[in-house]
Structure 1
Amino acid sequence: MTRVKVCGITRREDREAVVAAGADAIGVINGVSVDTPREVDDETAAALVAGVPPLVTSVLVTMPEAVQSVARRVETVQPDVVQVHDGLTPTQLGALRRRVDAQLVAVVDAEHAEIEAYADAADALLVDSVDAEGGGGTGETHDWDRTREIVDTLDAPVVLAGGLTPKNVGDAVGTVRPFGVDVASGVEAEGGVKDHDAVRAFVQQAKRADAAAVEAGR
């Protein structure tokens, strides 16, 4: 079943709305080098993660400069999963994976030259539309057919991100058949504030498309 992650949670009420909508994972952004309204400070990140209920996965989204810095951040925030954008090589990601008590998701562009090495170094791969600074959340889609090739080629679970909305997530799930989908700006009322109706619609459309693909044997 395709998992749904809603990222860039900044408020308790948005976290609770995402849980109520049936999302499988909640992403909290902390410690990134890009300017985004979705980033929260250490204290807020830890509080948001602490309130994620059992059976829903908490994800710390960060852009570390070194293994030590992200390890300290994981210790502070205590997420189930750490999602790493930019900054670390596959070798460093492997070292981080051994060091932290959290699963590791590596973020790459669909055309990254070392995509297999990143997949081997992490527990899962998130394929995003990455900007020049290495950050996601661009609101831009990429070549879903290329991502489907990655899904078919790699053993690691692949999460699809980049420009997803309630209107296109069904097509994305049907085309790519990813392990999961990830949305941030596509379900917002404004930067860093979620539109709860859009969150519900996104989850419903993703799950509906997944069920249809399973029934069709895709």
Structure 2
Amino acid sequence: MEAALDAGADMVGLMFFPKSPRHVSLSKACKLADMARGKAEIVAVTVNMDPDGLSRIRELVNPDMIQFHGSEAPEALAAAKVMQGTKVMKALSVGEREDLERARYYSIVADWILFDAKPPKDSELPGGNGVSYDWTLLKDLDLEKPFLLSGGLDPANVGDAIRQSGVKAVDVSSGVERDKGVKDSERIRAFVAAAKSA
């Protein structure tokens, strides 16, 4: 968290998904959120979480935004936005141009859309798999809401990804880790620097 904030990250994500090696407890998330508050937007990353779970996160962690990274319908985002009083982001899996059409349904309610790579067939994780896709699919995409490119990004390729896609925002997780679920401060700093310079 310190490395991300020092490097100038605009958003920081806290993962609330027990199957993920990046999952954080509510108590740890509270401490990390306190470090970030006022310095970067705090994003609570969830996967098909029930309303009670979302309420607990909202009450204890008080994130600026909730990311929905599962199979949630637009109606679930709309309900959470009203009930939790927070901005919402929807992560969508991309493999081909047709996959982008789903974003139009979500952009009616979502404040942000995140385009991630489709997970490998044997993966239990909907994201954070280090898998990439054709970044040019996002070139000239006209959505009414801002969006991020995610999937297989690291310090070495993020500049190319930005140039090829034309996006203004990127997201990273496994690409700045030294081991699965273990972030590397130097890779975080290098990633943010490369992204901002591109």
Partners of 1:70 and 1:112 lie apart in 2 by 27
Q: Is the 8 A contact 1:65 1:87 kept in 2?
A: no
CA contact (8 A) 2:115 2:148 kept: yes
Q: Which moved more, 1:47-56 or 1:177-186?
A: 47-56
After superposition, the C-alpha distances for 1:41-84 in whole angstroms (9 at most, x for unaligned) are 11111221122142311111111343343233222221111111
CA–CA distance in structure 1, aligned partners of residues 125 and 83 of structure 2: 23
Q: Which residue of 2 aligns with 1:146?
A: 137
- The one-character-per-residue Cα deviations of 1:11-57 (angstroms, maximum 9, x if unpaired) are xxxx1111111211111101x25x22110111111221122142311
- SS of residue matched to 1:117: helix
Give the match for residue 186 of structure 1: 175
User: Pairwise CA RMSD of aligned residues?
Assistant: 1.8
What residue number does 2:70 align with?
86
The answer for the alignment partner of 2:117 in structure 1 is 129
Structure 1 runs of 4+ with >6 Å offset: none
Pairing partner for 1:71 from 55, 66, 72: 55
- Quote how far apart the aligned CAs of 1:92 are: 1.5
Q: CA deviation at 1:139?
A: 0.2
1:19 maps to amino acid = L
Aligned-pair CA distance for 1:113: 5.2
Tell me, in whole angstroms, the C-alpha distance in 1 between the residues paired with 2:49 and 2:154: 31
Task: Indicate the larger mover: 124-133 or 74-83.
Answer: 124-133
Percentage of identical aligned residues: 35
Aligned residues: 191
1:54 equivalent in structure 2: 38
Structure 1 distance, partners of 2:179, 2:6, is: 20
Any conservation in 1 of the 2:138–2:166 contact (CA below 8 Å)?
A: no
Distance 1:81 1:109, change over 3 A: same
Q: Which residue of 1 aligns with 2:3?
A: 17
AA aligned to 1:46 is C
Structure 2: distance between partners of 1:19 and 1:102: 22
Give the AA of the match of 1:161. S
In the alignment, what sits opposite 1:9? none
CA–CA separation in structure 2 for the residues paired with 1:177 and 1:103: 24
Higher RCO (C-alpha 8 Å, min separation 6): 1
- Equivalent pair of 1:64/1:70 in contact (CA under 8 Å): no
For 1:127, what is the secondary structure of its paired residue?
strand
Paired amino acid for 1:200: R
Query: Which residue identity is paired with 1:145?
Result: T
Aligned match of 1:7? none
SS of 1:153 mapped into structure 2: coil
Please show how residues 25-44 of structure 1 align to structure 2 within 5 Å.
25-30=11-16, 32=17, 35-44=19-28
Give the Å deviation of 1:123.
0.4
Structure 1 residues without counterparts, runs of 5 or longer: 1-14, 210-218
Quote the Cα distance in structure 2 between the aligned partners of 1:67 and 1:40: 18
Q: Does 1:119 align with 2:107?
A: yes
